[in-house]
Amino acid sequence: MPGQNEEKERQIRNYYDALYRAWGAQHWWPAQSRFEVIVGAYLTQNTAWTNVEKAMANLRAARLLSVAGIRRVPLARLQRFIRPAGYFRQKAQRLKLFVRFLDRRYRGSLPRMFAQPTGELREELLALNGIGPETADSILLYAGNHPVFVVDAYTRRILARHEILPEDASYGQIRELFDRALAPVGESVAGSERVSGQLEKKVGGAAHPPSAMSTVQRTALVQVYNEMHGLIVGVGKNYCRKSQARCDDCPLREFLPSRM
C-alpha cells in the first residue's frame, strides 16, 4: 500500500539522519584509486576486510595494484599475493577476467567504462564470472560514482529486525526502497559541504581515515548512498550483530518496533 511504503521510506531517512548525526562521514571506500576499489570489491567476497588489507598490501608492495599490474603478473604469482583474502585461485582468475573485459570492451580505460549509463554497465558487470549484485553495485558506487545503493547482509538484518522488510526480501526490492527513500535526502544536501565527503563530526560506525577515493567530489545523491552504506555497516558490525545484538547501545535503538 502507498501509505505503508511512504512510512518505510520515512523510516530509512530517519535512520540516515540519526546515524549521520552520531557518527558523521564514514569515508568509504578506503582506497587510493578506482582500480583499488575494484580489486577490493572482488577480494572482500567471503572474507573479512582485515584479510583484504593484507592482500592489497602485498599487491601494493609489488607495484601490481593497477590495471597494467594485474594484466602482466602471471596468474600463479597473483594467487600468492592475494592468498590472505581466501579463495585466492578463484579470485585471481576473476581479476584477470575483469582486466580482459576492460581491455576488450573499453581498451583498458576505466574512465571510458564508467562513462557508460548505469543500467547498461551494471548488466555488463553482472555478466562477468564472480560479480553478483552487491559486487557490481560496490564497483558502480565507490569506483564509478554511479547512484546505486549497495545492499549487504547487514542491511537485510537491520531491516528485518526493525520489521521494515523480511530478511528474504529480494536484492532489487531492498535497493528500490533505499532509492526512493534517499532521493529526497540527496536533494536536501545538494550544494552543502557534505557532498564532498569532507565534513567531519564524531568518528564512529565503520569510519575509515580519509583517502583519495573517499574524499573525491561526488553528486549529492551518490554521496548519500555512499554514507548510508558505510553507516549501516557500522551498525551491523558493532551493534546489530548476528548473535548477541547490542540494541541498548545502538544509535537506532529508538526506532526498534518494541520501543514504538
Model confidence pLDDT, tens digit, residues 75-132: 999 999 999 999 999 999 999 999 999 999 999 999 999 999 999 999 999 999 999 9
Residue 211 and residue 178 in one domain: yes
Q: Are residues 41 and 137 in the same domain?
A: yes
> What is the amino acid identity at position 97?
L
- Write out the residue range of the structural domain in which residue 186 sits: 2-29+149-259
pLDDT recorded at residue 189: 67
The model's pLDDT over 198-229, given as tens digits with 9 standing for 90+, comes to 444 456 888 889 999 999 999 999 999 999 99
Predicted confidence band of residue 2 (pLDDT cuts 50, 70, 90): low
Check which CATH number belongs to the domain holding 189 and give it: 1.10.1670
Give the domain-ending residue among 143, 168, 195: 143
Residues 204 and 255 in one domain: yes
| 62, 21: one domain | no
- For residue 205, what pLDDT is reported? 85
**Which of these, 195, 216, 204, lies nearest to 252 by C-alpha position?**
204
Q: 210 and 162 in one domain? A: yes
Of 143, 172, 193, the domain-final residue? 143
Domain end point (choices 89, 117, 143): 143
pLDDT digit string, tens, across residues 17-70 = 999 999 999 998 889 999 999 999 999 999 999 999 999 999 999 999 999 999
Residue 16 is predicted with a pLDDT of 97
59 and 129 part of one domain: yes
User: How many domains does the structure of the chain reveal?
Assistant: 2
User: Mean pLDDT score of the chain, rounded to an integer?
Assistant: 92
Pair (169, 109) in one structural domain: no
Residue-by-residue DSSP string for 99-168: HHHHHHHHTT-HHHHHTS-HHHHHHHHHTSTT--HHHHHHIIIIIT----PPP-HHHHHHHHHTTSS-TT
Residue 202 is predicted with a pLDDT of 58
**Residue 251: burial class (beta carbons within 10 Å; 0-12, 13-18, 19+):** buried
Indicate whether 138 and 45 sit together in one domain.
yes
